[in-house]
Chain A
Amino acid sequence: MFNLTVKTLNNIIFEKTITLKFSTLFLLSLLLFSCIENNKSDTIFDSTNVKSAENSYATGFSLNNYDGWDVLEIYSPWPNSQKNYHYLIKHKFDTINKLLPVFDYDGIIEIPVEKIIVTSTTHIPALELLGTENTLIGFPGTQYVSSEKTRLRIDNGEVRELGNNETINTEIVLDLKPDILVGYGIGNQNKALETINNSGTSVLYNGDWVEASPLGKAEWIKFFGILYDKKKEADSIFDIIETNYMAAKTLAQNVKKRPKVLCGAMHNNVWYLPQGTSPEAQILKDANVNYLWGDTKGKGSLALNFESIFEKAQNASLWFSPSYYNSYEELMLASTHYSQFNAFKNKSIYSFANTKGATGGVLYYELGTARPDLVLKDIIKISHPTLLQEYNTYFFKPLQ
């Protein structure tokens, strides 16, 4: 649930700031952000003859047709990004030698893609749902991949290990010669990815994690649908996920009793929990539970003082995702304050941290983005035990 903070912090660390100069860094980054200017004009893309394939939820990308040319546009690869990315989509088997249009695009992508590198575990399910997992040839941090299909390919040596997303092993990437690399940036361009892009391999930024709604995140399967020339398949897969999600939501709306819910856990006396309009909180809302911070506004996570959490949520009947903690014992070891909550006393804490793949990757971080319907059903099943009696929770399990 704290993907965002984790990624941001990760970035901070690799800029060599372990030495506690947090405040200085913060000021510096403020300065940096204010200095970035957007010089590139997108005038050609404002032109006539635009046909867009509208997304229902996702706002981070779209496929537009300019004068007969398909252009994949990425709007917000990271939060508050200033630049839009335009990729010209050209079919490999296109026999008509049309003149490439002269405009300012960031890369040409020949579809269907045959060799791909993706960088986030959230991209793996999309490949598998489209049946294109065999095109994956490299991944940074392969130990985090849990899906059995892709795991098998990793174990067979068909997927190369590329190190770390922030410091991806450029040499191996260049050696692998992928058709494209799907990366993600955290707050600004990733320098290693820039180098790869300049070498001729198209780097696409995937912004699924920036989307404001759970279904918006899931809709990024259509992004991969475009790359594999499987738009129709991607559309129908997403339709099924959406239908399942809506059905579960409708089911939950009929329940009268809404349990009070607490989320998250403390790091250093500061309690981190999702804000009221974040995708995570939207799922809680759709599950018809009373998330106690549901009225706050914002995309990311709240960082609150222990006192205010304790006062408000002491009597909450359910507690979801207490950070990385796997058991009640671990929570106690971290802080005895946890034991004062009713949800702790009644053993009503549920976490996705226990559902792991063979090599220790947390399944929720991989599949949770692509399958919000399963996440929603998990929450409904736990919060309203009378509903979905046949269903077994997929990610969320009781704390040990």
Chain B
Amino acid sequence: MLYKKSTYKSITILLIVLLCVSFFVNIGLGSVSISLKEIFLTIIGHQENYIIQHYRLPKAFTAVLAGSGLGISGLLMQTLFRNPLAGPFVLGISSGASLGVAIVILGSSLMGGFLATVFISKWSIVIAASLGSFIVLLAVMIVAAKIRDTMAILIIGLMFGSITAALVSVLSYFSSAELIQQYVFWGFGNLGNLTWYEVVIFFSIYAVGIVLSMMSMKNLNTLLLGENYAKSLGLNVKKSRFIIIIATCLLAGSVTAFAGPIAFIGLAVPHIARQIFNTSNHKILLPSVFIIGSIVMLICDSISQLPSSDYTLPINAITSLFGAPVVIWLLLRKRKMVF
């Protein structure tokens, strides 16, 4: 049974409040305890605090961008492939990015010791990850133009994943322990190493992806009926498939480039949204995935900081540890999956 309009509204308002709360909780919690007053004064600009201004705030914004970006790209993929197991990385975006990063980090030793550390700057990693996912995207697009069956694209994406994983293991065999260590650390995911400047660049790529996915909302609803039916309704399946794939690549690709391959969020958040709102209408799902994705990411980041301890856990471990039980619980409670 679908909810009434007023129910959607009240749930949405509740979620927005929750988003604001988790945003401020995220800023307020960390290894160093900073008083609420000091945080407030810093945010309104009356006081200088390096940790708040240049560490926690950019980190919180990155968490919002990453959480919502991954959630939305996951939703797009699940609808496009009509498969509840799809996620933002099924097209091989993260494998493409991993290969790019692996070539920069692990391959740098082949370019000679002097160049090695020059190459492994933050920007070269971002550029390599973007290039890597872009090349995979290009390959997927070429395939998509030739193939009618959307499922074939899914399998081809998985194949790209296997190829890149194989190349990465060959590269790591010939690399020194320090370089492998760096590559592994990249794979843990990282929200907190971005400057404001980088957050702005991240946001601009991300914004294009969001606009494209908002443009596709109606088409996504039509696609839910099946490709043949969508065609008979006058939908240009190839064109809308193209836009959806580009939007996913921009969203998931930019997140992977700036924050590393963050697992799980993209798969789980659309399910959480469907269970909460009990609908598969994208006009409702898209904004709710945006909000829920941000909330989940902010909470996961707050947990991974292990507030008031000196330690931090890798964000990738927390998203799965925390997120998987939530999805299981939601499915058990409803006994039926909304898809």
Spell out A's residues near B (CB within 8 Å): 5-7, 9-10, 12-13, 16, 18-20, 22-23, 164, 167, 266-270, 302-308, 310-311, 324-326, 330, 333-337, 340, 356, 360
Instruction: Write out the residue numbers on chain B whose beta carbons fall within 8 Å of the beta carbon of A23.
Output: 317, 320-321
Given contacts A326-B117, A335-B193, contact A22 B314 (CB under 8 A): yes
B51 touches A269 (CB 8 A): no
Given contacts A23-B321, A269-B192, A269-B193, contact A308 B118 (CB under 8 A): no
Instruction: Write out the residue numbers on chain B whose beta carbons fall within 8 Å of the beta carbon of A333.
Output: 121-123
| Shortest Cβ-Cβ A-B pairs, 8 listed | A333-B121, A360-B113, A305-B31, A10-B177, A308-B31, A307-B31, A268-B185, A308-B310
Interface residue? B201 (CB, 8 A): no
Q: Of the 9-residue stretches B11-19, B164-172, B207-215, B330-338, which lies at the interface with chain A?
A: B164-172
B30 touches A305 (CB 8 A): yes
Instruction: Write out the residue numbers on chain A whose beta carbons fall within 8 Å of the beta carbon of B122.
Output: 333-335
B188 touches A20 (CB 8 A): yes
Given contacts A310-B50, A333-B122, contact A9 B181 (CB under 8 A): yes
Interface residue? B20 (CB, 8 A): no
Expressed in whole angstroms, the minimum distance between the Cβ of A15 and any Cβ of chain B is 11
Instruction: Write out the residue numbers on chain B whose beta carbons fall within 8 Å of the beta carbon of A167.
Output: 173
Interface centre among A18, A19, A303 (most CB of B within 10 A): A18
Instruction: Write out the residue numbers on chain A whose beta carbons fall within 8 Å of the beta carbon of B195.
Output: 336
Which of the residues B51, B165, B169, B181 comes within 8 Å of A310, measured between beta carbons? B51
30 sampled A-B residue pairs with Cβ under 8 A: A6-B178, A9-B177, A10-B177, A10-B181, A13-B180, A18-B172, A20-B188, A22-B317, A23-B321, A164-B173, A268-B188, A268-B190, A269-B192, A302-B310, A303-B311, A304-B31, A305-B306, A305-B310, A305-B311, A307-B31, A307-B51, A308-B310, A311-B32, A326-B117, A330-B121, A333-B122, A333-B123, A334-B120, A335-B193, A336-B195
Residue of B nearest to A353 (CB): B117
Kindly supply a per-residue 1/0 record for chain B positions 169-202, scoring 1 wherever the CB is within 8 Å of any chain A CB and 0 otherwise.
Answer: 1001100011011111111101011010000000
Spell out B's residues near A (CB within 8 Å): 30-32, 50-51, 54-55, 113, 117-118, 120-123, 165, 168-169, 172-173, 177-178, 180-188, 190, 192-193, 195, 260-261, 263, 305-306, 309-312, 314, 316-317, 320-321
Instruction: Write out the residue numbers on chain B whose beta carbons fall within 8 Å of the beta carbon of A10.
Output: 177, 180-181
B117 touches A325 (CB 8 A): yes
Expressed in whole angstroms, the minimum distance between the Cβ of B49 and any Cβ of chain A is 11
Residue of B nearest to A20 (CB): B187
B181 touches A311 (CB 8 A): no
Question: What's the Cα separation between A190 and B260 when bound, in Å?
Answer: 32
Residue of A nearest to B52 (CB): A307
Instruction: Write out the residue numbers on chain A whose beta carbons fall within 8 Å of the beta carbon of B168.
Output: 18
Which of the residues B51, B120, B263, B314 comes within 8 Å of A268, measured between beta carbons? B314
Residue of B nearest to A266 (CB): B193
Expressed in whole angstroms, the minimum distance between the Cβ of A146 and any Cβ of chain B is 12
Residue of B nearest to A324 (CB): B178
Residue of B nearest to A270 (CB): B312
A13 touches B311 (CB 8 A): no
Residue of B nearest to A314 (CB): B50
Instruction: Write out the residue numbers on chain A whose beta carbons fall within 8 Å of the beta carbon of B54.
Output: 336-337, 340
Question: What's the Cα separation between A154 and B306 when bound, in Å?
Answer: 49
Given contacts A6-B178, A337-B55, contact A268 B193 (CB under 8 A): yes
Contacts A19-B165, A269-B312, A307-B51 aside, 9 further interface pairs with beta carbons under 8 A come to A13-B172, A18-B165, A19-B187, A20-B188, A22-B316, A303-B312, A305-B312, A307-B55, A330-B118
Expressed in whole angstroms, the minimum distance between the Cβ of B38 and any Cβ of chain A is 13
Given contacts A305-B30, A307-B32, contact A5 B312 (CB under 8 A): no
Given contacts A23-B317, A269-B312, A337-B54, contact A18 B117 (CB under 8 A): no
B185 touches A267 (CB 8 A): yes
Instruction: Write out the residue numbers on chain A whose beta carbons fall within 8 Å of the beta carbon of B184.
Output: 9, 12-13, 18
Instruction: Write out the residue numbers on chain A whose beta carbons fall within 8 Å of the beta carbon of B165.
Output: 18-19
Instruction: Write out the residue numbers on chain B whose beta carbons fall within 8 Å of the beta carbon of A269.
Output: 190, 192-193, 312
Question: What's the Cα separation between A109 and B181 when bound, in Å?
Answer: 36
Question: What's the Cα separation between A362 and B180 when bound, in Å?
Answer: 17
A267 touches B312 (CB 8 A): no
Instruction: Write out the residue numbers on chain A whose beta carbons fall within 8 Å of the beta carbon of B185.
Output: 267-268
Question: What's the Cα separation between A309 and B55 when bound, in Å?
Answer: 13
Residue of A nearest to B306 (CB): A305
Instruction: Write out the residue numbers on chain A whose beta carbons fall within 8 Å of the beta carbon of B186.
Output: 268
Which of the residues A304, A325, A335, A340 comes within 8 Å of B311, measured between beta carbons? A304
Question: What's the Cα separation between A164 and B113 when bound, in Å?
Answer: 18
Instruction: Write out the residue numbers on chain B whose beta carbons fall within 8 Å of the beta carbon of A356.
Output: 113
